[in-house]
Each structure stands twice: as structure tokens, then as C-alpha cells.
């Protein structure tokens, strides 16, 4: 049964275009990690971790990336970039900028830069520019977070987010570099 489920998941992520397959993989990696995020935060800061439930609002958008990509590969890749940026904005609103959650704009920018071919400049510019614009226009303008944490809790959240962003960037970079069709 588990093998059947894994095979179906692999088929859902698979796409003949390596850039789209990468977008699908990253989207489902995020979906698979989202249920654990509240646990990470709970172990770090305790009861205020309830705030993490707002991140589940973005789950359907990430899960929809492969479905959209089946209809239109370009739109699927754009959806991946938009979902990542909007999820970061949502987390900024929930946690505040002192939590370091804005670091997640970095993998969004990376995806905008690598998921598109030279012939798809408008899409690439949009997907690179969206997280940059969100940061520039929304930083410090979303009001008070849902919960104000202690200085120690903010330090722990920044560490968690920095490690998560580093791992995500490494995974994206490694996955991109191992796809010879993408580099050609």
C-alpha cells in the first residue's frame, strides 16, 4: 500500500519538462514539511506555536502546483513562485519581521531565477520581482504580529528559519544542478 502511494506521488510530481518537475518537487516538499512546522515551533517556544496554523492556508496552493503544471507548465512554475511569496507574506503577518521569516523570500527569488528559460523572461522577471517587491513594500507595514514573542523566542525563531531557508536553498540548488537537461 505504501509503495502504491509513493508511486502515485511520484507520478503526480513527474513532468517531462525538468524545470516544471523541479517546481513540482519543491511544492510537494513544502507540503510535506508544513505539518511538522508547528511541532518545530512548539518545541522552540511552546504554546504560542498555535500561530503556525495560519501557514496551512497556503497548503492547497503548493499542492495545486503539479495539477496546474499538467495543464500549463509555465503557469505551474509561476504558481510555485507566487505561492512561496504569498506564504512568506502570510508568515510575516503572523510572526512579525523579528522572527526572520522574511528569509524565505530568498528561495522564492532563487526559484524565480532558475525555473524559467531565457525565452520566458517576463515570467522570470515577475517571479524574481514579486518577492523583492513584497519585501520592499510590506516590511514593517503589516502591523503587529499575532503574538509578540520574547527576545529569546525571536532568536530561536530566526535560527529555525535561517536553517530551514539554508536547507531549502541547498535542496533547490542540488536538484537543479543534477538535472542535466536543465543546464543544456
| Residue 179: per-residue pLDDT | 76
Residue 149: C-alpha distances to residues 89, 152, 155, 162 (Å): 18, 8, 10, 17
| Residue 126: per-residue pLDDT | 98
- Alpha-carbon distance of 169 to 26, in angstroms, equals 10
| Residue 151: per-residue pLDDT | 96
Listed in sequence order, the residues at least 6 apart from 99 whose beta carbon sits closer than 8 Å to its beta carbon are 91, 145, 149, 154, 157, 158, 161
Question: Domain coordinates of the chain in residue numbers?
Answer: 7-183
- Alpha-carbon distance of 15 to 101, in angstroms, equals 30
Provide the whole-model pTM. 0.93
| Residue 10: per-residue pLDDT | 87
Contact 52, 37 (CB under 8 A): yes
Contact 19, 116 (CB under 8 A): yes
- Alpha-carbon distance of 9 to 71, in angstroms, equals 18
Each residue's pLDDT, cut to its tens digit, for the chain (184 residues) gives 768 888 888 888 999 999 999 999 999 999 999 999 999 999 999 998 999 999 999 999 999 999 999 999 999 999 999 999 999 999 999 999 999 999 999 999 999 999 999 999 999 999 999 999 999 999 989 999 999 999 999 999 999 999 999 999 999 999 999 875 655 4
| Helices vs. strands in the chain: H and E counts, helices first | 10, 0
- Alpha-carbon distance of 35 to 4, in angstroms, equals 22
Amino acid at each position: 500500500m505504501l509503495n502504491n502511494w509513493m508511486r502515485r506521488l511520484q507520478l503526480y510530481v513527474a513532468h517531462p519538462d525538468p524545470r516544471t518537475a523541479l517546481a513540482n518537487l519543491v511544492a510537494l516538499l513544502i507540503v510535506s514539511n508544513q505539518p511538522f512546522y508547528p511541532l518545530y515551533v512548539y518545541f522552540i517556544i511552546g504554546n504560542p506555536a498555535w500561530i503556525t496554523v495560519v501557514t496551512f492556508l497556503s497548503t492547497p496552493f503548493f499542492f495545486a502546483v503539479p495539477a496546474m503544471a499538467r495543464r500549463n507548465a509555465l503557469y505551474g512554475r509561476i504558481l510555485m513562485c507566487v505561492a512561496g511569496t504569498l506564504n512568506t507574506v502570510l508568515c510575516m503577518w503572523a510572526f512579525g519581521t523579528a522572527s526572520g521569516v522574511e528569509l524565505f523570500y530568498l528561495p522564492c527569488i532563487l526559484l524565480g531565477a532558475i525555473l524559467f528559460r531565457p525565452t520566458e523572461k517576463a515570467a522570470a522577471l515577475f517571479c524574481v520581482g514579486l518577492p523583492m517587491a513584497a519585501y520592499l513594500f510590506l516590511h514593517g507595514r503589516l502591523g503587529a504580529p499575532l503574538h509578540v514573542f520574547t527576545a529569546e523566542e525571536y532568536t530561536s525563531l530566526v535560527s529555525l528559519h535561517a536553517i530551514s531557508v539554508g536547507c531549502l536553498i541547498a535542496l533547490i540548488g542540488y536538484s537543479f544542478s543534477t538535472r542535466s537537461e536543465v543546464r543544456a
